[in-house]
Structure 1
Amino acid sequence: MSEVVPGELWARLRRTTPARIALGRIGNALPLGEVLDFQLAHARARDAVHAALDTAALEAALAPLPVLHVESDAPDRATYLRRPDLGRRLSDRSTALLAETGTRCDVCFVIGDGLSATGVQAGAARLLKACAAELGDLAIGPVVIARQARVALGDPIGEALGARVVVMIIGERPGLSVHDSLGIYLTFAPRPGRSDAERNCISNIHSAGGLSPEDAARTLGWLLREALRLQLSGVALKDDQTPALPAKDPSRA
């Protein structure tokens, strides 16, 4: 039986995780390649936080779905990052716009830039369409694109549109492994003042080894129907659906 030397063991472990482990060293420093890789990941994360969402391009990608545009009470990105509370409140203009819409629906989808407009730009349209396909038997309101948005901004939007459930698709806080991840937050009977304990979250949705949009949509579909059946969401609503079994390999029969 051959022995596994430490270097081979670390190499195996590195293949199982995006974490920065066993980077090696040159003298007392990291190898140049690892330093440059870290700097690139850090730059991408910073860019994702500060990037502006191209709302026109996102609306085009969502076609033919009807779209409304709103913004939070944070007037610009710098204020948004310093004042999370303003990102949870609608601007006066947006409040008036939604009051004039006069729609009622089972589900209202909100797409918020959050802390990664990069992730929203890259994947939100595909994710929303996958979610809508899972909910074809429900009344879905117009898609709301929200700038300078925090998760709780979905509460006043959902209330204004008379939604039984609001689903916020938002850019997640970027890290040094993933800078373009999306999260889904589901809230039953949305209204200002809802706490995070009253929401269900599906996170880590991205193309670099994360949850696929289609898998996230299936999970959302199950949770949303349970939320409507039980008339609740959050910690009281557990994702206890039976996991799908892998298809049987006929060659092993």
Structure 2
Amino acid sequence: MTTPPAPLSPSLADLRELTPARVGLGRSGASLPTDALLSFTLDHARARDAVHAAFDVRGIAAGLAGLGITSLEVSSQAHSRRDYLRRPDLGRMLDSASRRSLETCGITACPCAIVIGDGLSPTAVNVHAVELIRHLVPRLAADKVDAGAVIAASGARVALGDEIGAIIGARMLVMLIGERPGLSAPDSLGAYLTFAPRIGLTDADRNCISNIHRAGLSYAEAAFRISWLVREGLARQITGVALKDESGGGSSRNALPGCDKSDT
């Protein structure tokens, strides 16, 4: 009788196959190897570039028009990227012109509004927002939920959606916004869902689906989960910690009540 060989111990190479995290980089003397250092520097530069990228409002409007969707444009009180980064509070409030525009746009008692905000990664929004909406709107329609308004918001923090939703009377608000860039994902998009939005709500009142990008959650999976939360949130008249994701789609780590990678 022969003894079976002992299983091989997992190696660092095996671990690197399972995660984009920087593990087992090696060293050169007391420093990182040149390749690892250059890779880190490049990813850090991409993350910084994503924060400071221009929000392509016209490109997004054109992409939405191609889907047969007319969008509105608004701005927060953070009128420059410098103000946006230094004064988070300004990104949570509409400027006076945008407030007047929404008050006179004729949208009232909106069942579900979608706000596209630049957030901390305009790059993510420029790349992913229109494609996500392409997958999302048919799912909402199948659930008999009308996306009555789509609004592009410049200089936006997550909480800006509360004021927008309150003005247009949205029962449910879906905020698509660029998440804080990481060294492995500078273009990650997040979706925040809020029932009966109004000024003064906190992240405990929202559900968040994060990590929507090419190497993360797919458009189809994200649209499925957003539409489920919209449908159930409207039926139960709740979002946030009171609404758990029971859609059965994907990993629960991507749809957490109160999750915040966008720095509200």
TM-score greater than 0.5 by the shorter chain: yes
1:18 paired residue number: 20
What CA distance in whole angstroms lies between the structure 2 residues aligned with 1:130 and 1:3? 45
2:47 paired residue number: 45
What CA distance in whole angstroms lies between the structure 2 residues aligned with 1:143 and 1:240? 26
2:170 paired residue number: 163
Q: How many residue pairs were aligned?
A: 241
The letter of the residue matching 1:36 is: L
Q: Which runs of 4+ in 1 moved over 6 A?
A: none
Structure 2 residue runs of 5 or longer lacking an equivalent are 251-264
Q: 2:214 aligns with which of 207, 228, 236?
A: 207
Trace 1:1-253 onto structure 2 (pairs within 5 A).
1=5, 4=8, 9-63=11-65, 64-104=68-108, 105-136=110-141, 137-208=144-215, 210-243=216-249
Between stretches 57-66 and 91-100, larger displacement belongs to 57-66
Deviations 1:120-166 (A, max 9, x none): 01111001221111101222222100001000000111111111101
Percent identical pairs in the alignment equals: 53
The letter of the residue matching 1:222 is: W
Please state how far the C-alpha of 1:4 moved relative to its aligned partner.
3.9
After TM superposition, the score normalised by the length of structure 1 is: 0.92
What CA distance in whole angstroms lies between the structure 1 residues aligned with 2:113 and 2:246? 24
What CA distance in whole angstroms lies between the structure 1 residues aligned with 2:248 and 2:155? 37
CA distance 1:180–1:126, change in 2 (3 Å): same
Is the Cα contact below 8 Å between 2:224 and 2:249 reproduced in 1?
no
Please state how far the C-alpha of 1:243 moved relative to its aligned partner.
4.7
Structure 1 residue runs of 5 or longer lacking an equivalent are 245-253
What CA distance in whole angstroms lies between the structure 1 residues aligned with 2:133 and 2:115? 9
Please state how far the C-alpha of 1:202 moved relative to its aligned partner.
0.4
Aligned-residue CA RMSD in angstroms? 1.4
Other structure's SS at 2:112 match: strand
What CA distance in whole angstroms lies between the structure 1 residues aligned with 2:64 and 2:247? 29
Is the Cα contact below 8 Å between 2:225 and 2:249 reproduced in 1?
no
Deviations 1:39-88 (A, max 9, x none): 00000000001111111111111112011000001121001001111100
What CA distance in whole angstroms lies between the structure 1 residues aligned with 2:50 and 2:97? 27
What CA distance in whole angstroms lies between the structure 1 residues aligned with 2:136 and 2:169? 20
CA distance 1:100–1:19, change in 2 (3 Å): same
